Amino acid sequence: MQIQVAKRLQHTEEYYFSRKLREIETLNQSGEKVINLGIGSPDLLPHPSVIETLYEYASRPDTHAYQNYQGILPLRQAIADWYGRYYGVSLDPNQNVLPLIGSKEGIVHICMTYLAEGDEALFPNPGYPAYSAAIRLSGATGIPYTLTPENNWLPDLDALAKTDLSRVKLMWLNYPHMPTGAMATESFFKEIVAFATQHNILLCHDNPYSFILNDRPKSLMAVEGAMDVAIELNSLSKSANMAGWRVGMLVGAEKRIKEIIRFKSNMDSGMFLPVQMAAAKALSLGPEWYSELNDTYRRRREKVYQLLDALGCNYDRKQVGLFVWARIPESYTDGHALSDEVLHRSRVFITPGGIFGDAGMSYIRVSLCATESTLEQASNRIAVASGSDID
């Protein structure tokens, strides 16, 4: 049979990490196991009370049915309380909050809700590949905006304003930024809200890294006027070590929530109730949870710095989030070349920056989701392969 995939998929490749994990598995079968420092999947446990809550509710006979498309009120209330406590954002749990089965689905929901063929959407370069993929799947045209270290990895709004924005309906942004770890200032958030207001653009801010190695979490929604022009995605994957649980959220004006539910309600039947109750518990954790989590990541980051020093890379110690972004030595053509060499010579996988856009070609990204001993082992493997010493 000659069955062609839909037009929407003809220029959409399989996700990079999906392909790379198969390659790593093949290498694992042929020799020493690869140390995977590529993916930001937390290896630490959620808080014990979160697991206990899941078990408690999963053990009941009345918690296994289909759930409300907008999530249960205890979870929506917990999200609203969390936003108020840590971000200083006031939300109505009945109007401004939509739980998601992971924030990645929210990216697709937003694009499918607002974009169609003939529309344009802005996305960061370098940036999370899911933004451009979701735009493409919607039938719209993605317009990358380049981020540079000279501008602290923030978009040049003056340059964007001089381009034709007449077809642009939405703009993806993500701070703390993945993959660079750059933070946005409050003044920048104010500027971009004004920019979106002026050009009638819906801002879509993806905010899953705000608690990681960052003592002052920020939300775009805290800016005056943001509720009129912006929506924000957030997640418990990183901040609560619940990546596989698939718990995310979308916050915004009531009108936006209702519009997105029109698409979402045709795609799923709601989140498992025990997971929702456990998520509400995770959202109630105090600042000591985040402090302990970040102490672990700080120690790990020092080990990653050691690894990057062995590779001759340069990096900014002010970056935050779950990764370290580093510029490769000039002796390599791009991050793919360095990544492939390290993988095949040292059996260590680090992510080439080029998968996040051509503005990342001269960079690599290393995950902090590995124990200190694993990171030391990776450094030693690299040092042995390069003939250098690790102190």
The candidate with the shortest Cα–Cα distance to 349, out of 331, 367, 333, 322, is 367
One domain for residues 218 and 122: yes
Tell me if 309 is assigned to some domain: yes
Residues 109, 260 contacting (CB under 8 angstroms): yes
Tell me if 192 is assigned to some domain: yes
One domain for residues 219 and 181: yes
Predicted local distance difference test score (pLDDT) of residue 389: 45
One domain for residues 12 and 118: no
One domain for residues 236 and 97: yes
Question: Model pTM?
Answer: 0.93
Tens place of pLDDT per residue across the chain (391 aa): 778 777 777 666 666 777 777 878 887 887 789 999 998 899 999 999 999 999 999 999 999 999 988 999 999 999 999 999 999 999 999 999 999 999 999 999 999 999 999 999 999 999 999 999 999 999 999 999 999 999 999 999 999 999 999 999 999 999 999 999 999 999 999 999 999 999 999 999 999 999 999 999 999 999 999 999 999 999 999 999 999 999 999 999 999 999 999 999 998 888 999 999 999 999 999 999 999 999 999 999 999 999 999 999 999 999 999 999 999 999 999 999 999 999 999 999 999 999 999 999 999 999 999 999 999 999 999 988 776 544 4
C-alpha–C-alpha distance, residues 59 and 274, integer Å: 9
pLDDT digits (tens, 9 = 90+) for 303-356: 999 999 999 999 999 999 999 999 999 999 999 999 999 999 999 999 999 999
Say which CATH number the domain at 111 has: 3.40.640.10
One domain for residues 234 and 350: no
Predicted local distance difference test score (pLDDT) of residue 391: 41
Ranges of H-type helices in 115-253: 129-138, 157-161, 186-199, 226-229
Predicted local distance difference test score (pLDDT) of residue 13: 62
C-alpha–C-alpha distance, residues 181 and 178, integer Å: 6
One domain for residues 207 and 235: yes
Q: Could you say which of 266, 284, 302 is where a domain stops?
A: 284
User: Which tokens sit at 182?
Assistant: 């750059």
One domain for residues 129 and 95: yes
The candidate with the shortest Cα–Cα distance to 15, out of 95, 128, 92, is 128
User: Range of 220's domain?
Assistant: 49-284
One domain for residues 41 and 161: no
One domain for residues 130 and 263: yes
- Residues whose CB falls within 8 Å of the CB of residue 72, separated by 6 or more in sequence, listed in order: 273, 276, 277
**According to the 3-state scheme, what is the secondary structure of 114-153?**
HCCCCCEEEEEECCCHHHHHHHHHHCCEEEEEECCHHHCC
C-alpha–C-alpha distance, residues 281 and 236, integer Å: 11
C-alpha–C-alpha distance, residues 385 and 391, integer Å: 15
Looking at the 3D structure of the chain, how many domains does it have?
A: 2
Predicted local distance difference test score (pLDDT) of residue 387: 63
Q: Could you say which of 284, 300, 333 is where a domain stops?
A: 284
pLDDT digits (tens, 9 = 90+) for 11-52: 666 667 777 778 788 878 877 899 999 988 999 999 999 999
One domain for residues 70 and 210: yes
Say which CATH number the domain at 18 has: 3.90.1150.10
Q: Could you say which of 254, 284, 314 is where a domain stops?
A: 284
Q: How would you class 9 by CB atoms within 10 Å of its CB: exposed for 0-12, middle for 13-18, buried for 19 or more?
A: exposed
Instruction: Describe the strand order of the beta sheet including 323-327 as a list of residue ranges.
Output: 314-315, 323-327, 363-367, 351-352
Predicted local distance difference test score (pLDDT) of residue 39: 85
Predicted local distance difference test score (pLDDT) of residue 238: 96
Rg (CA), the chain: 21
Q: Compute the CA torsion angle 91, 249, 222, 296 (nearest 10 deg).
A: 120
One domain for residues 366 and 333: yes
In three-state secondary structure terms, 52 is: helix
